[in-house]
Amino acid sequence: MSKVSVLDIVKMKCFTSLKWNIFCFQIFILLLFSGLLQSCSETANVQIRLPAKELYQKAMVAVEDEFYQEALKNFEILVDEHSGTRLATLAHLKMGEVYFLQSKWEESETSYRRFLLLNPRSHLTPYVLNRLIALNYERNIYGLFAKSRDYDRNMEPNRTLIREYQRFYLLFPQSPYLADVKEYQKGALADLAEHELHVANYYFDNEAYHSAIGRYLYLLKNYPGFPRTGDVAERLIEAYRLNQQPELADEIQKILKSLRERKLLAQLTTREE
C-alpha cells in the first residue's frame, strides 16, 4: 500500500478549496445576474405603465378619430391599471358611449350601469339614465325590416324603457333631459300597442278568435291613447261574432257608437287592410 506524502495532501486540499471557491463564485454571479434581470424588468414595467390622464387623452383622441377599438383598449387599460380613480370611473361612461356608437347594446348598458354603480351621486346620473332609455329604444328594432314576423318580436327593451322612464321621472322631474325621455316613453308605448295589435291580428287571421279577443281587450284596456282604438274595437266586434258571442259583439258595438258620437276616441281611422 503506497503512502501519501504530506505534499500530496496539501495539494489535494488546495485543489478542493479552489474548486469550492470557483463554485461559490459561480453561485454569486448567478444570483447577481438574476437580481439585475429582475430589477431591469421592474424598471421596464414602470416605464411602460402610462399615467391615467395620458391613457384617457389617448382614448378620447381615438374616439374623435373613430378608432373605436383603440379607444376601448385604452379605456380598459385605464380601468385595470388605475382602478378607483376618477378617470377610471369616467372611463366606464365613455366605454358605454363607444359601444352605443357601435350598436353594441348589451356592452353599452353594462358600462353605463357600471358607471352608475361606482358613482351613484354623480351629476351625470340624469344623462346616463337618459342614455339607458335611448339605448333600449334603439336596440328594439327587430321587426322593422320583417313585418311579417312582428308578432314574435322581443318587446322587453320597450318594457325596460318604460320602467326606466318612471324611475327617471320620479328622481329628476326638472331635468333638461325629461323632454327627450318623454318622447322615448311615448314611442315605447306606441310600439307595445302596435305589437299587441299585430299579435291579436295574427290570432284572428289564424281563426284563434278566443286568443285574439283577449289581445284586443288587453290593448283597449292598457293603451287607451292608441290612435287606432276604433279599428281595434271593430276587430273585437268581428272576433266576438266569429266566436259565436253575438251578445258581447252587440254590447261593444253600442259602446263604440256612443264613443264616436261623443268624439271620445283617440282618433278615427279606417279599418286596417
Q: Where is pLDDT greater, at 10 or 51?
A: 51
Q: Is the pLDDT of residue 2 over 70?
A: no
Confidence of residue 262 (pLDDT cuts 50, 70, 90): confident
Q: Is the pLDDT of residue 273 over 50?
A: no
Q: Where is pLDDT greater, at 198 or 137?
A: 198
Per-residue pLDDT, 1: 46
Place of cell 327627450: 180
Q: Is the pLDDT of residue 65 over 90?
A: yes
pTM of the model: 0.64
Q: Is the dihedral of CA 250, 253, 257, 258 positive or negative?
A: positive
The candidate with the shortest Cα–Cα distance to 158, out of 175, 177, 130, 138, is: 138
| Mean pLDDT to the nearest integer, 68-93 | 95
Per-residue pLDDT, 35: 61
- Tell me the per-residue pLDDT of 230-249, one tens digit each, with 9 for 90 and over: 899 999 999 999 999 999 99
- Residue 219's Cβ-count burial label (10 Å; 0-12, 13-18, 19+) is buried
Q: Is the pLDDT of residue 197 over 80?
A: yes
Q: Is the pLDDT of residue 151 over 60?
A: no
Confidence of residue 216 (pLDDT cuts 50, 70, 90): very high
Rg value, the chain, Cα: 37
Per-residue pLDDT, 13: 52
Burial of 166-197, coded b for 16+ CB within 10 Å and e otherwise, reads eebeeebeebebbeebeebbeebbebbbbbbb
Q: Is the pLDDT of residue 174 over 50?
A: yes
Per-residue pLDDT, 232: 92
The mean of the pLDDT values for the chain is: 81
Lowest mean pLDDT among 26-40, 68-82, 178-192, 239-253: 26-40
User: Looking at the chain, which residues constitute the CATH 1.25.40.10 domain(s)?
Assistant: 52-111
What DSSP string describes 110-163? Answer: HHHHHHHHH-TT-TTHHHHHHHHHHHHHHH--TTSS-GGGGGG---HHHHHHHH
CATH domain 52-111 topology: 1.25.40
Per-residue pLDDT, 142: 45
